[in-house]
């Protein structure tokens, strides 16, 4: 019956014999008669709706990939269809995706990853021995000597050992236990210029007094540009404050392959170290980790290379050091360039970019623009960023997505584009801002 109806829909000749020796027209007539007798059913209501779903899901917002980015995608499609705009491309300055902005990957990291992914290359003379040594160590710790196998839920053991050794070196000998290391799928983003030691001590003291669990996002520990600043790990400061703090304050700190000088966002590699976690809570954490099976093993391998890089005397050390310093040096120059150019614009103030890879300038928004934003049911800085996108093609993130102080307005913009493109972006923002102030003055 369904076949006969389908033949009729396809417009087949009624004289063509059907599959059972009848003409298709007679088969179609029978099908039509049956369909007329059978009552039509109304579609069943959907089980999962906005009313029935968990309200906590509806409350989730992620400004970095929110409405402004969806609009950027729409504009890109319009450009592809030939629709004329005041610009020729959308510049996605909303997210710290280093390699999407043109940063070249670190050779040694990619060499080890290539060897791990395709072990036949271990016989190739094109790869340095120190890269082969690391690849063999990682593969020997993987099931079947393959990155394609599952790992332990907490992560590959030898990689957790390397992370613990790295943390111990970084913190000047403060011990790290591999059993407190959990390999993760990347780590969360952050925007903070560099925290001073005094600030970290105050945060730790506050957490101790108020009995709070500390979460320290330390993915930018390599991105410190100001000569007057240096990275202080929360764990090291915690231990140096004495046993009253180091034995009691509960801390989880995070690092990843996505930022720093590596910029390997796509590998989704990272780690978490936990301190002073209650044994029963640790058991619950391990249980939850076992449900997800394991983080991507390729990401775990990438994290291992970050914490176990070439050392003096190894074949790859000089090239690795050159590439690392080149990336960080360029970021330092772009940080200073961004600060200087923003502070030349009336109505924009940008604090010194001491670290990370973003600017977070404060912007003045006139009262008439605030009223216009309210009429569009938008936060004022969202309104500003949407206008910036529509008129210049530059996609940035409104500060309202980061918990800015009441009554102030900001936007967040990455400094990752190449220097010449960054200059173009900053000039376009300057021109837009001046016109925006004139329009809503």
Strands (DSSP E) found in 339-410: 348-349, 358-359, 362-363, 394-395, 397-398
Q: What pLDDT does 194 receive? A: 67
Question: What's the pLDDT at 5?
Answer: 42
49 CB neighbour count, 10 Å cutoff: 8
Considering only CA atoms, which of 346, 364, 350 is closest in space to residue 434? 346
The predicted structure's pLDDT at residue 10: 43
Q: Which token pair is 220?
A: 């930018």
Dihedral angle sign, alpha carbons of residues 228, 234, 240, 244: positive
> What is the number of residues in the chain?
441
Instruction: Tell me if 300 sits within 8 A of 156, measured CB to CB.
Output: yes
Rounded distance, CA 149 to CA 141, Å? 11
| pLDDT one digit per residue (tens) for the chain, 441 residues | 444 444 434 444 444 444 444 455 555 555 555 555 556 677 777 777 778 878 877 766 665 567 888 898 899 999 999 999 999 999 998 887 888 888 889 999 999 999 999 999 999 999 999 999 999 999 999 999 998 888 888 889 999 999 999 999 999 999 999 999 989 886 643 334 767 888 888 889 998 888 888 888 888 888 777 777 788 899 999 999 899 998 988 899 999 988 888 888 888 889 999 998 888 888 888 888 887 788 888 899 999 999 999 999 999 999 999 999 999 999 999 999 999 999 999 999 998 887 788 888 999 999 999 999 999 998 899 999 999 999 999 999 888 877 777 888 999 989 888 899 999 999 999 999 999 999 998
The 3-state DSSP class for residue 410 equals strand
361 in Cβ contact with 349 (< 8 Å): yes
In which element (H, E) is residue 181 found? strand 181-185
Tokens of 382: 């969202």
Q: Which two tokens stand for residue 90?
A: 């959308």
Largest CA distance in the chain: 95
Query: What is the DSSP annotation of 17-47?
Result: B-TTSSBHHHHHHHHHHHHHHSPPPPPPPPS
Distances (CA, A) of 140 to 108, 149, 415: 19, 12, 39
Contacts with 119 (C-beta within 8 Å, 6 or more apart), sequence order: 135, 139, 145, 146
Crossing angle for the helix pair 107-117 and 317-342, nearest 10 degrees? 120
Instruction: Evaluate whether 65 touches 289 at the Cβ level (below 8 Å).
Output: no
CA 94, CA 99: separation in Å to the nearest integer? 14
Per the DSSP assignment, residues forming a β-bridge with 224 are: 355
Decide: 166 and 156 in contact? Cβ < 8 Å. no
What are the structural domains of the chain? 2-37 (no CATH), 55-101+327-439 (3.90.1150.10), 107-309 (3.40.640.10)
348-349/362-363 β-pairing = antiparallel
């Amino acid at each position: 019956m369904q076949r006969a109806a389908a033949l009729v829909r396809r417009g087949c000749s009624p004289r063509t014999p059907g599959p059972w020796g009848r003409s298709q027209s007679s088969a179609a007539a029978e099908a039509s008669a049956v369909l007329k007798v059978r009552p039509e059913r109304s579609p069943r209501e959907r089980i999962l709706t906005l009313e029935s779903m968990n309200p906590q899901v509806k409350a989730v917002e992620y400004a970095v990939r929110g409405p402004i980015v969806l609009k950027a995608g729409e504009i890109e499609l319009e450009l592809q269809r030939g629709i004329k705009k005041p610009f020729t491309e959308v510049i996605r300055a909303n997210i710290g995706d280093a390699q999407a902005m043109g940063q070249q990957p670190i050779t040694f990291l990619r060499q080890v990853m290539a060897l791990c992914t395709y072990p036949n290359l271990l016989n190739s003379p094109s790869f340095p021995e120190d890269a082969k040594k690391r690849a063999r160590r990682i593969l020997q710790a993987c099931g079947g000597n393959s990155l394609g196998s599952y790992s332990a839920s907490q992560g590959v053991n030898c990689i957790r050992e390397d992370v613990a050794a790295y943390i111990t070196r970084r913190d000047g000998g403060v011990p790290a236990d591999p059993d407190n290391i959990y390999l993760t799928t990347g780590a969360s983003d952050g925007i903070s210029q560099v925290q001073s030691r005094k600030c970290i001590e105050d945060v730790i003291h506050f957490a101790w007094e108020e009995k709070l669990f500390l979460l320290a996002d330390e993915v930018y520990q390599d991105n410190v540009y100001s000569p007057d600043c240096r990275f202080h790990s929360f764990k090291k400061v915690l231990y140096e404050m004495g046993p009253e703090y180091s034995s009691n304050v509960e801390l989880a700190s995070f690092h990843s392959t996505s930022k720093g000088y590596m910029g390997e966002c796509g590998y989704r590699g990272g780690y978490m170290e936990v301190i002073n976690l209650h044994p029963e809570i640790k058991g619950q954490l391990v249980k939850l980790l076992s449900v997800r099976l394991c983080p991507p093993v390729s990401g775990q391998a990438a994290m291992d290379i970050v914490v176990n890089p070439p050392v003096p005397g190894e074949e790859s050390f000089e090239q690795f050091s050159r590439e690392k310093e080149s990336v960080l040096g360029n970021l330092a120059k772009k940080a200073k360039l961004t600060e200087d150019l923003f502070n030349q614009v009336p109505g924009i103030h940008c604090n010194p970019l001491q670290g990370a890879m973003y600017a977070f300038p404060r912007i003045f928004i006139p009262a008439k623009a605030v009223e216009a934003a309210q009429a569009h049911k938008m936060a004022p800085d969202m309104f500003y960023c949407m206008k910036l996108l529509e008129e210049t093609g530059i996609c940035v993130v409104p500060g309202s997505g980061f918990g800015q102080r009441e009554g102030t307005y900001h936007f967040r913009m990455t400094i990752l584009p190449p220097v010449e493109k960054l200059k173009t972006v900053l000039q376009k923002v300057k021109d837009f801002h001046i016109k925006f102030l004139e329009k809503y003055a």
